[in-house]
Amino acid sequence: MKRIIITLAIISLAACTARPSFDPSSVADATAGQVTRVEPLSWWVGMKTDLQLLVQGTGISEYNVEIEGGKGVSVEKVAKAESPNYLFVDVEIAADAQPGTYYIVFSKDGKSFKYPYEIAARVEGSAQRKSFTTADMVYLIMPDRFANGDPSNDSTDDTAEDADRADGNGRHGGDIQGVIDHLDYISELGATYIWTTPFLEDNAPRGSYHGYAASDYYHIDSRFGSNELYRTLVDKAREKGIGIIMDIVPNHCGTEHWWMEDLPFQDWIHQFPTYTGTNVAFSTNMDPNASARDLFIQESGWFVPSMVDMNLDNPYVLQYFIQWGVWWIEYSGLNGFRVDTYPYNEKEPAAEWCKAILDEYPDFNIVGECWTSSIPQLAYWQGGNANKDGFDSHLPSIMDFPLHDAMRAALSEDHGGWGAGMSKVYDVLSHDFVYHDLSKMLIFPGNHDTARIGDVVRKDPRALKLAMTMMATMRGIPQIFAGDELMFVSAKPDNIGDHPGLRVDFPGGWEGDQLDFFTEEGRAAQTHNTDGLEVPKGQAADLFDYVSRLFQWRKTADVIHNGKTLHFMTRDNTYAYFRYNDEKAVFVYINNNLEDKNIPWSYYSEITEGLHDGVDVLTGEPFEVSDATVVAPKTALVVEYRR
């Protein structure tokens, strides 16, 4: 199949907002049931990615296919599936093809019908869109639990599960409009990107709120909004200086996905005589001693019974997901992907998927969820790593779970010692030599799958501030889960890792909420009760202000974005490190103890000589550190120096 390549001028991120007004989700089925769907929903002139249409319709495999409507667009090849109700149509789009509505013509026995298909003009500079880097802070939102901007779509006729806010595992009504309505809050916090858990349709009869069991890969769940409203979110966020990262799941779909009633091929998904779950043995991907059988179960077993494992070794499945990723980027104007359960995929096709996305968008960033506490195994999954077996994932960024684990373990302890307290953080960062690219690591104190950092630090706001200080000053790309900046805690204190418990609603996101943490007045309001704990008046306001000051400062702190790290070993439950470049040095001191600590400034003389004009980042006041400097219990000091 011919690939079309064009050269585009590099322009700013803001210039990627003007997109064609055509909304493929609004195309009516004009074929009276002869074709029930065509995916991708539309395409563009000037793409590098091959276009292969999945066509579904009763008995459609018996039809001949042509395309009419203009110059430069034609059918190159038609392939039948095992099911008679599918065709795969390879479409050639010439470099001089004209944008517009074309018609796919299906003919059989002297009769024919047409299906309209839009091939639009590509936005100028689309291929050069920028993505998230170390200069950004990513704010993670689970939309169903964030804010209900449109109560009219809480329950919809085309979906199975109705809203029930009293059900911790049910839908609560948060939606796209709720995110749009609170972009100012996110911007004020200092975030420059939003990662939302999936917005795509998840029609599971129960637990559909999280969106990780897609039943339609090309349509936003109607309880969240629409495809067009999602584009509006991307545009509105960009106006605030915020990019959007889409959470995608090529590893599995939901059992309610429309193709489960009639698979194109029997190996479209992984099937077993009886239910077979994955063994979650990621090591089988790089372990020279691993059995082929264990590797097969790891990548082919189902995630859970309600999530069907896709077979990316089937070339039609792989092409489907490549196009799907490209389509959402181009259609909505996205600037990043987060890939769920990345190592559960077949690794070679997954690497091909990443490469295809980056071939189309060279500056695009993709971060993969590679959930392992093993540093060498995590490093294996980052693209460009010098793996012994020669494998290259082409995955630019990885989530730093080892640092996540070490930081949480350290902050839950009040005393130091060998292998205790903050020395755990030092130890993890001492392994940075293993990683290929430290700038492409997502660091985080918690997310929607792990216990709330507020619970981990035992509801101590001082320790929460220590976590946020490290997030704002360490190497990598920081990510914060919505509400952690205010020290949200689990609704189920006896089981703080329970998903419904930790995925609590954001106060103020629903009409009638007594508290509204989206507003300055609400955060400073009267005491409130959470799980039997009285939270002091103004605590939420104090935490928000602290986090906001850090991340607003960080936006322009190139020494944090691109500087090196120098850290110093102690075993007294403190941690001292410098982020530095040729012009500046930022000194960070973490006192995780229950007593005051003197800073041993002279011990750091290899880097402190010549530092001048110190400024306390958190107060904005001049500050010079010395051996006489005392740091209070559970407190951080951050001082920016000139060199």
The residue type found at 294 is D
Residue 484 contacts residue 445 (beta carbons within 8 Å) = yes
- Among candidate residues 50, 340, 400, 505, the one labeled active-site is 340
What's the rounded Cα separation, in Å, for the pair 319 and 91?
Answer: 13
Beta bridge partners of 171: 163
The residue type found at 435 is Y
Does the bond joining 633 to the residue before it have cis omega, within 30 degrees of 0? no
What's the rounded Cα separation, in Å, for the pair 482 and 142?
Answer: 8
Backbone angles phi, psi at 576, to 5 degrees: -120, 130
The residue type found at 101 is T
The residue type found at 107 is S
How many other CB atoms are found less than 10 A from the CB of residue 223? 29
Residue count (the chain): 643
Residue 377 contacts residue 286 (beta carbons within 8 Å) = yes
**H or E, element range at 53:** strand 51-56
Which string of DSSP letters, residue by residue, matches 4-44? P--------GGGGG---S--GGG---TTTTS--EEESS-EE
What's the rounded Cα separation, in Å, for the pair 169 and 346?
Answer: 30
What's the rounded Cα separation, in Å, for the pair 258 and 583?
Answer: 57
> Quick one: DSSP state of residue 426?
H
Please report which residue ranges of 161-207 form alpha helices under DSSP H: 176-181, 183-189
| Strands 86-93, 73-80: pairing kind | antiparallel
485 is catalytic: no
Supply angle C-alpha 409, 411, 412, rounded to 5.
Answer: 65
Residue 198 contacts residue 249 (beta carbons within 8 Å) = yes
Residue 357 contacts residue 337 (beta carbons within 8 Å) = yes
| Strands 138-141, 564-568: pairing kind | unpaired
What's the rounded Cα separation, in Å, for the pair 339 and 350?
Answer: 10
CA atoms within 13 A on the CB side of 170: 12
The residue type found at 51 is L
What's the rounded Cα separation, in Å, for the pair 351 and 348?
Answer: 5
In 81-135, where do the E strands start and end? 86-93, 100-108, 111-120
Residue 70 contacts residue 121 (beta carbons within 8 Å) = no
- Among candidate residues 175, 256, 369, 640, the one labeled active-site is 369
221 is catalytic: no
User: What is residue 254's three-state secondary structure?
Assistant: strand
Catalytic machinery residues: 340, 369
